[in-house]
Chains A and B, each alone.
Chain A
Amino acid sequence: MSEIDEQQVYKWLSDVADPEVPVLTILDLGIVRKVSITGKGNDTAVTIAITPTYSGCPAMDVIAIGIRMALASRGIKQVIIEPQLSPAWTTDWMTEEGKKKLKAYGIAPPNRKAFQPLGLFEEDSASCPRCGSGETELVSQFGPTSCKALYRCLSCKEPFEHFKCH
């Protein structure tokens, strides 16, 4: 097989979707931290460092399988996945493209920098991804996955999910 470079691997990884929010790729989420290539020809080995969004993210195993499959289908047999905890993942690493896709999918994207934690009873304001209204209220800080909160739009009355700033 021909020689590959890191850029090529990143291009292949842009096909790997997050299993919980399939509209996002793992690159949109910012969880791929490093790609390195060793060896040549049939001995080519690719090492990919990925970081979990949350400590207990149940999607990590499926993401690792997705990465292996994406590379195997391009003839890369040796794939080493390295889990990496530090620096800790933040929604600040989500791409602008990713945020647009989330909104189009019906999930309000993170809308502030994550380094400043909220005070007691303070709520993030999230605009309704359907009608665009800013008149919304928090239903629960916890939703169907660790990364999302539940909101309700007071204008169009629809419930929606907000990808939390983290």
Chain B
Amino acid sequence: MSNSKYLLDYTLRLADDALILGQRLGEWCGHGPILEHDIALTNTALDHMGRTRSLYQYAAEQFNNMPAEDKTGVFTSIALQNLINTSASLDEDNLAYLRDGWDFKNVLLLEQPNNDWAYTIARSFFYDAFNYFFFAALEKSADESLAAIAEKSLKEATYHLRWSSEWVVRLGDGTEESHTRMQSAVNELWMYTGELFIENETDNALAQQGIGVDLASIKPMWMERITSVFEEANINTPQNSWMQKGGREGRHSEHLGYILTDLQFLQRTYPGMQW
């Protein structure tokens, strides 16, 4: 791959992570256990959506500036290809609404369904802890745009992590029922956490240039944070087990298709429709 393709791949995966988690958290709107926590999740979803926009805007700018030969084969979704053939440039909405599942690069963890409150909290907690250390490192990126987005996002990841950590403790150290639900959510989602730290060709190329984050360096910090909160919450940290992967390469679970159906329906049914 060329360098511009690596950077686009990297930007898109961060955008896709933010979009899919934001969409999942937004599904709680009107369904939260009490109004205040309904609002908490939708506020958090809004932070993720804001980051999504910044990242897709940057990704679109990168794609539009790519030499023509590099653009071939970047996206294989037909709706997006048709647009590329007829339009001078892509924008943030095209990237969100016109890519099929296999062009999405989010980790599998984030497309997992909300299930119950504990499951939603566990998913956010694993990811918030990752985001916190990831953005603290990306803030020093040699790429100015990514560094600026990271600087902004780190402030938000800080209180996201605080909020989800508190809930892990509240549920884990709560009633027998809440403890059981928290522990089983952690057990079930654990196999999706390995993918956060898998380094592929894109990671290696960009880490070498000081643009991307060295994931191996943040894994111990993530692990330490996870285990210290679990200790306080009386939750057992699952032992190493077989880990799921594939999202970063566009191989997803069935869940992503349903998310995209919901998310993309309007633009797929009425192409180019504006609010």
A residues neighboring B (CB under 8 Å): 52, 54-58, 84-88, 90, 117-121, 139-144, 146, 150, 166
Interface SS majority for chain A: loop
Contacts of A142 in B (CB 8 A): 36, 39-40, 43-44
**A141, B155: Cβ atoms closer than 8 Å:** no
Contacts of B165 in A (CB 8 A): 120
Contacts of B37 in A (CB 8 A): 140
Stretch at the interface among B119-127, B144-152, B189-197: B144-152
What residue in chain B is nearest A56 (Cβ atoms)?
B50
Interface SS majority for chain B: helix
- Give Cα A15 to B37, complex, Å: 35
Q: Could you list some 22 contacts between A and B, CB below 8 A? A: A52-B50, A54-B50, A55-B46, A55-B50, A55-B54, A55-B156, A56-B50, A56-B51, A85-B148, A85-B152, A86-B144, A86-B147, A86-B151, A88-B151, A120-B165, A121-B166, A140-B37, A140-B40, A141-B163, A143-B39, A144-B39, A166-B155
**A57, B40: Cβ atoms closer than 8 Å:** no
Q: A88-B155, A141-B40, A142-B39 are in contact. Are A120 and B48 (CB under 8 A)?
A: no
**A56, B49: Cβ atoms closer than 8 Å:** yes
**A117, B158: Cβ atoms closer than 8 Å:** yes
Could you say which interface size class chain B belongs to?
Answer: 20 to 34
Q: A54-B47, A56-B49, A143-B39 are in contact. Are A88 and B152 (CB under 8 A)?
A: yes
- Give Cα A119 to B36, complex, Å: 20
- Give Cα A120 to B229, complex, Å: 10
**B162, A86: Cβ atoms closer than 8 Å:** no
Contacts of A87 in B (CB 8 A): 151
Assess whether B153 is interfacial by the CB under 8 Å rule: yes
As a 0/1 sequence over residues 232 to 245 of chain B, the CB contacts with chain A under 8 angstroms (1 = contact) are 10000000000000
- Give Cα A119 to B169, complex, Å: 13
- Give Cα A84 to B37, complex, Å: 31
Assess whether B159 is interfacial by the CB under 8 Å rule: yes
User: Nearest Cβ distance between residue A27 and chain B, in whole angstroms?
Assistant: 21
Contacts of A121 in B (CB 8 A): 166, 169
Contacts of B169 in A (CB 8 A): 120-121
Chain B 22-58 residues near chain A, CB threshold 8 A: 36-37, 39-40, 43-44, 46-51, 53-54
User: Nearest Cβ distance between residue A127 and chain B, in whole angstroms?
Assistant: 21
Interface residue from A139, A141, A146 paired with B47 (Cβ < 8 Å): A146
